[in-house]
Amino acid sequence: MKTIGLIGGMSWESSKIYYQHINEMVRQKLGGSHSAKSVLSSVDFEEIERYSFSGDWDKIGKSMASHSKNLERAGADMVVLCTNTIHLVSDAITNAVDIPFLHIVNATGEAIQQKGLKKVALLGTKFTMEKDFYTKILEDQFGLEILVPNDEDMDVLQDIIYNQLVQGVFTSEAKETCIKIIKKLKEQGAEGAILGCTELPILIPAEEVDIPTFDTAKIHAQKAVDFALS
């Protein structure tokens, strides 16, 4: 079994879900008392959040490169970045280490293709929805059409994510608001919805949405386990 290297803390609310998913998947696959071999390097999210809002992505990239090197030195066989938004600085990670970097968008694109969908909604932070680091991969490499919420709904999602979810606050009001946003995108032709913030699947149960949802944290965790056991 290979060792999974995790960069966590963005936020730790979803990082703990990664750890749970990965170990449950390994036990399901191997049985008995098996669990995953893993190494975790976790950030202080306040710093990452501050740099994100000031647009200082170079500092975030340097931080992610440093954490990736730590994982490699600790014996990790791969790097898994436990967040969607910070994949914006993926190049800083791939340039810093010699071990593979498992990209969350590639894993998500493969999962959508397996469902045979062509047009999907993307929910996440404004950085994820507005910048092209996420949508470009899905469009260019997987031939998908990506729908994003209108500006007002983007602001609503941004507020829910940064002022509630990353602080461990998950309310029924926030859930219903997100489900309404997904319904609007369905009316525009979305066949499925990418929960492109790793805290969103904690808030939005798949069974309460009437189109398929893609839990990016779980999809990413499965990719890591498949690689670890390959």
Strand order in the sheet with 78-81: 38-42, 4-8, 78-81
d(CA 17, CA 42): 14
pLDDT digits over 166-205, tens only?
999 999 999 999 999 999 999 999 999 999 999 999 999 9
Task: Find the radius of gyration of the CA atoms of the chain.
Answer: 17
pLDDT digits over 61-116, tens only?
999 999 999 999 999 999 999 999 999 999 999 999 999 999 999 999 999 999 99
Looking at residue 21, its pLDDT comes to 98
- CATH numbers and ranges of domains, the chain: 4-103+218-229 (3.40.50.1860), 104-215 (3.40.50.1860)
Structure tokens belonging to residue 38? 């893993």
Model confidence band, residue 207 (pLDDT cutoffs 50, 70, 90): very high
Report residue 171 CA to chain centroid gap.
21
pLDDT digits over 150-171, tens only?
999 999 999 999 999 999 999 9
Which candidate in 83, 85, 125, 135 is catalytic? 83
Structure tokens belonging to residue 133? 């680091």
Strand partners, 146: 120
Residues 126 and 157: beta-carbon distance below 8 Å: yes
Residue (of 10, 160, 162, 5) closest to 71 by Cα position: 5
**Can you spell out the DSSP letters for 83-94?**
-SGGGGGHHHHH
d(CA 147, CA 71): 35
Which candidate in 82, 135, 197, 213 is catalytic? 197
Structure tokens belonging to residue 81? 């970045």
Is 83 an annotated catalytic residue?
yes
Residue (of 189, 215, 186, 187) closest to 202 by Cα position: 215
Looking at residue 48, its pLDDT comes to 97
Looking at residue 73, its pLDDT comes to 98
Looking at residue 39, its pLDDT comes to 98
Is 197 an annotated catalytic residue?
yes
pLDDT digits over 30-60, tens only?
999 999 999 999 999 999 999 999 999 999 9
Structure tokens belonging to residue 50? 């501050």
Sequence-distant (≥ 6) Cβ neighbours of residue 51 within 8 angstroms? 57, 59, 60, 63
Looking at residue 87, its pLDDT comes to 98
